[in-house]
Copies of this chain bind each other. A is one copy, B any other.
Amino acid sequence: MAHMADVYIIGSYSTRFQKWPDKSFKDLTREAYLGVLGDSGLDDGSDIEIAYFGNCGLGTWGQPCIRGQVCFTPLVRDGLFPERVPMVNVEDACATSSVAMNGAWKDILSGQSHLALAMGVEKTYVPGDPARTMELFAGGIDQLDPGEWQAHYRQQGEAAGKPFETGPGRTIFMDTYAMQASHHMRKWGTTQEQIAIGAAKNHNNGALNPLAQYQFEMSVDEVLADREVSHPLTRSMCAPIGDGAAAAILCSADYLRNLPSDVQSRAVKVKASALSGGKYRSLDEPGLTKIAADKAYAMAGISPADIDVAEVHDATSFCEIYQVEMMGFCEIGAGGKFVGDGHTMLDGKIPVNTSGGLVSKGHPVGATGLSMIYELVAQLRGEAGARQVDGARLALAENGGGVMGMEEAAACITILEKDS
């Protein structure tokens, strides 16, 4: 590393995740922008030098290009967002807005800006037209030559004892995760009940989160008795369809130095932001998130045991079991027992998905990564209310996107730190 200056988050915001048929992309952008600006303590946005805008689905809404510029047009017109700010539109499927934040971080690190905005905005719910929603999700897998991954899935599904199914009404994402879960159960003795324990824990956390899409408690039995999506996954183990926006404002150490002390005292340091790419992986190889996490730990100069609180990408509750292994919170293969024994609960060894995670907080694709950052910033500031993890000082977010072959196509790991 040639150069590692400090970069800070001074503002973060998330809308409630929900089906928002009456809110436009511009409405969600406005709420997230004014929210993050307010949280940052800045008088206005006039110092913002660049914006990284994350979105996956605007093409299906008729706006394939200059998405950020279009969504910010009313804010510029109303004098709320400065003119001439460059906007870089980024996309990495469900990892989109973490990658947007990675861009803002590098922009500052590279000395090109002192104050940068990262935002993710998404609407996945299309009233009366579920096929449009499915089209968006299908875009996260190779549609140009589907034969290649289908062959891989058939072969891996056989090895996992979970034959690959495809067809109308089936979501590839959930089937993929179900295959991975089946393999894990067969190889490591993970149980469906352990998966349900993680799901129930996240629903119970979500019940404490005013921004969660689902704010109701669930018992393990209720999770197990819910409608099956793809065995062993039931509906309440799977992230719902929804809309939302989340944002963060990042600044350089030089910029932070000149801010009022109450703003400085709420600032959170970005200790690491690391990316990795996916591949056609066999189910027995460690995944891309482990590679990105190892990079992030090295960058931060810490080990997994140092992390106080984490958000991981539980597109299904099996993912939480898998990701606590990849993040190094437990041994590989021990994730089922680790979650099943309650170590990821609010009062556990390492509280995971205090927000409710994707299954309860919701998962509007391109907004999800920055909503994880929002939750962790709240935790590190001690502002997480009923979900607060006492004395949290180091936090990790794991965000993956797309489907490559038995794993995501993109992953971003972020490590945040709060100086006492």
**A63: nearest residue on chain B (CB-CB)?**
B143
Q: Is the CB of A280 within 8 A of B77?
A: yes
The residue that A90 contacts in the complex, of B59, B88, B140, B278, with Cβ under 8 A, is B88
The reply to whether the CB of A112 lies closer than 8 angstroms to some CB of chain B is yes
**Whole-angstrom distance from the CB of A256 to the nearest CB of chain B?**
13
List chain B residues, Cβ under 8 A from A278: 69, 84
**Which B residue sits closest to A76, measured CB to CB?**
B279
| In the assembled complex, A85 has its CB within 8 A of some CB on chain B | yes
CB nearest neighbor in B for A82: B277
A343 interfacial contact with B, CB 8 Å = no
A189 at interface (Cβ–Cβ under 8 A)? no
A385 at the interface (CB under 8 A from B): no
Q: Mark A1-22, 1 if CB is under 8 A from B, else 0.
A: 1111100000000000000000
Given contacts A103-B103, A106-B106, A275-B86, contact A64 B56 (CB under 8 A): yes
Q: Which of A30-38, A91-99, A201-209, A347-355 contacts B (4 or more CB under 8 A)?
A: A91-99
Asked if B77 and A275 make an inter-chain contact with CB atoms under 8 angstroms apart, the answer reads no
Residues of B within 8 A of A157 (CB): none
A410 proximal to B (CB < 8 A): yes
Name the contact of A409 in the complex, choosing from B59, B69, B91 (C-beta under 8 A): B69
Point out the residues of chain B lying under 8 angstroms from A134, CB to CB: none
| Cβ distance A118 to chain B, nearest Cβ, rounded Å | 13
Main SS class of interface, A: mixed
What residue of chain B has the Cβ atom nearest to residue A142's Cβ?
A: B70
Cα(A111)–Cα(B108), bound, Å: 12
- Nearest CB on B from A318, distance (A): 21
Number of identical monomers bound together in the oligomeric complex:
2
Cβ contact within 8 Å between B91 and A91 = yes
- Cβ of A414 within 8 Å of any chain B Cβ, yes or no, is no
Say yes or no: B86 contacts A410, CB within 8 Å: yes
- Among A56, A57, A99, A139, the most chain B Cβ lie within 10 Å of the Cβ of A139
Given A50-B275, A109-B110, A109-B111, also A57-B66 (CB < 8 A): no
CA A144 – CA B277 in complex, angstroms? 33
Q: Name the distance in Å between A161's Cβ and chain B's nearest Cβ.
A: 26
The number of chain A residues with a CB under 8 A from chain B is: 72
CB of A383 within 8 A of chain B? no
**CB pair B144 A61 closer than 8 Å:** yes
Q: How far is the CA of A59 from the CA of B73 in the complex (A)?
A: 23
**CA of A288 to CA of B76, assembled, Å:** 15
- For chain A, residues 247 to 284, give those with C-beta under 8 angstroms from any C-beta of chain B: 252, 254, 275-280
Whether B87 contacts A277 by the Cβ 8 Å rule is yes
- Would you call B63 and A144 a contact (CB within 8 A)? yes
A57, B61: Cβ atoms closer than 8 Å = no
A residues in contact (CB < 8 Å) with B: 1-5, 24-26, 50, 56-57, 59-67, 69-71, 73, 76-77, 83-93, 99, 102-103, 105-107, 109-112, 136, 139-145, 148, 252, 254, 275-280, 288, 291-292, 401-402, 404, 409-410
Some 27 contacts from A to B, beta carbons below 8 A apart, are: A2-B111, A59-B60, A60-B64, A62-B139, A62-B144, A63-B144, A64-B136, A64-B139, A66-B401, A66-B402, A66-B409, A69-B278, A69-B404, A69-B409, A69-B410, A70-B143, A73-B148, A85-B277, A86-B275, A87-B409, A88-B90, A88-B275, A89-B91, A89-B92, A91-B91, A107-B110, A109-B109
Q: A64-B91, A86-B292 are known; give 5 further A-B pairs, CB within 8 A.
A: A24-B144, A69-B410, A87-B409, A90-B90, A107-B110
